[in-house]
Chain A
């Protein structure tokens, strides 16, 4: 039995997906990155190995997310791709004919417009993280409710309170104000969802033609309140795919299947989880740019370097995949 492994190392979560040859998800893992991407990938691989039948053979590996190069280097990935492409690939496989993808993750949010199955346009949040998962997380914590309860509670709202959503800081003070005024928690939560949706549509979705089917994915899609707020604002049904929180990893696995169609995988095997990797860095003193060079070592052997503008350090190592 063959499987394809997709790894998505994001700012907040690290996700792994094992996909069968037919594109079906065999197993998925959602972990917190906690600022230690290497450890998160290793822990994920360990969990993945123990959860799968021993006869499964990994035929391809793809990595994505902001830590994609790091994850790619330590696992020997066949393909390293940015998260916009992987999300689009996954969504169009799960929901054929999808025309709009709303994606809200831990620290970024994006909108991807597809036409005829091809990405036609996209946008990412640029300077503001209001409306992303981290903010919701923080507000749930402030209100002393678990993030899991956030959605169900918001659904119970009868009259959502209007909250200023332009900026996370102002949203928070406005929310506190509404609390002091005596509004109940459900209405405030629902109001928060609506404010974030407004902010998202104004900042990220600005000027884009949002046509159905609309898919909503990323960690925040777990929040039923957000789904309802989107449906209300867009006046259309919003589809949440079954593996909404690991779509990036699923897309990476799909791309890995494509990349290994005519070659053998470069995957180093699950033993990677046991190896001793270290990420270090130093400031190059070759010129006044003083580039901060990142160096990944495996048992004291340098396996990858990046971060130098001129290629003085990164070009020295022979690399299979060009680190862009």
Chain B
């Protein structure tokens, strides 16, 4: 059995660590590229959202590396994603790929259903081992997220163009290379040190922008056309509303981890505007926009894949939030047709708007 799973930003690092720790052979799809997208667009239904197309491309490329078992997340909300595992599997079968499908989703009747699925992948390793493996993966996700947060801080302040990106790459390699849980703390220290060595100008004026929206397009730099990097280079310190480790803590560990930002806070805030679960991260998008406004951020960017229902619901509510709380909000919709030039022009104009507004406000103060 050779297991593969689709990409979503740096998720591969934590899942690979977990599976390999448990002795499962993994064939990682090559990094998501234009070729991946082309494969997905060619064989996927046009009106499915971009994540489906990229997943499909990932699986096709992984099959070339010998993968025979695909692991996908499932779900049971109004978001179509819950059904993507089955749809993707069916398309792949029609194309002649022979994949065994394992869907990890919230159990319908009994926790045993989920445990059974995990057994399918991990074989007869003890549950103690499995839990240790999951914890190892979680710790890696946590380390990667910390590095990303540091990159968000240093990128707009770096003295030399590209210094943050170069440091991030080497720091990430430190985390990726760790194979045993005991080695992780030391590697984490080394990676943090690399990031701290990026020369920055701490007094530089930066604009602060919160990024909200659909989880896949937020986490996958290919899908959002490196929006964090682009903003960082324009002098914007970004904060992303969703990090993988926070998501794991919220959804798999039921929020047991301490001192971890939780989406519960956002959900509470959203109630004033949207009192109903709409699937995906629609509620979180509304709630986080309110939180960013309260924390004094200069603006909020919403990113979603074209045809994403939960985010469309949120999009129609955001203008009111923006007006009530006085925080500029811009929505960016991405799919395979998105042009980079148009994105850059809009981002630039939005950042200019925020910077001028900030200067104007500070001039009055």
Contacts and interface: CB of A to CB of B under 8 A. Distances in A.
Interface of A: 66, 81-85, 116-122, 124, 126, 207, 287-290, 309, 311, 315, 319, 322, 324
B341 interface: yes
B33 A84 contact: no
Determine which residue in A119, A124, A207 has the highest number of CB atoms from chain B within 10 A of its CB, and name it: A119
A322 B356 contact: no
Dominant secondary structure at the B interface: helix
Given A121-B328, A324-B230, A288 B33 contact: yes
B226 interface: yes
A289 B356 CA distance: 36
Contacts of A309: 226
A267 to B, nearest CB: 22
Interface stretch (B180-188, B198-206, B346-354): B346-354
B36 A118 contact: no
A85 B33 contact: no
B352 A85 contact: yes
Dominant secondary structure at the A interface: loop
Given A118-B357, A315-B161, A288 B345 contact: no
Given A288-B30, A289-B34, A84 B161 contact: no
Contacts of B344: 82, 324
Contacts of B348: 81-82, 84-85, 324
A82 B342 CA distance: 10
A207 B349 CA distance: 19
B35 interface: yes
Determine which residue in B165, B345, B348 has the highest number of CB atoms from chain A within 10 A of its CB, and name it: B345
A280 to B, nearest CB: 18
B31 interface: yes
B357 A84 contact: no
A82 B233 contact: no
A124 B348 CA distance: 13
Contacts of B36: 288
Nearest to A87: B349
Instruction: Across the A-B interface, give the 10 residue pairs with the lowest CB-CB distance, nearest first.
Output: A84-B349, A288-B35, A288-B33, A82-B348, A289-B33, A119-B353, A85-B352, A82-B345, A289-B34, A82-B349
A81 B234 contact: no
A175 to B, nearest CB: 28
B161 A322 contact: yes
Contacts of B30: 288
A27 B301 CA distance: 40
B106 interface: no
B162 A311 contact: yes
Nearest to A124: B346
Contacts of B333: 126
Nearest to B364: A116
25 contacts: A81-B352, A82-B352, A84-B345, A84-B349, A85-B353, A116-B360, A117-B360, A118-B353, A118-B356, A118-B357, A118-B360, A119-B349, A119-B356, A120-B357, A124-B346, A288-B30, A289-B33, A289-B34, A289-B35, A290-B33, A309-B226, A315-B161, A324-B230, A324-B234, A324-B347
A311 B165 contact: yes
A207 B342 CA distance: 21
Contacts of A319: 161
Given A85-B353, A288-B36, 5 more contacts: A84-B345, A119-B353, A121-B328, A124-B345, A207-B319
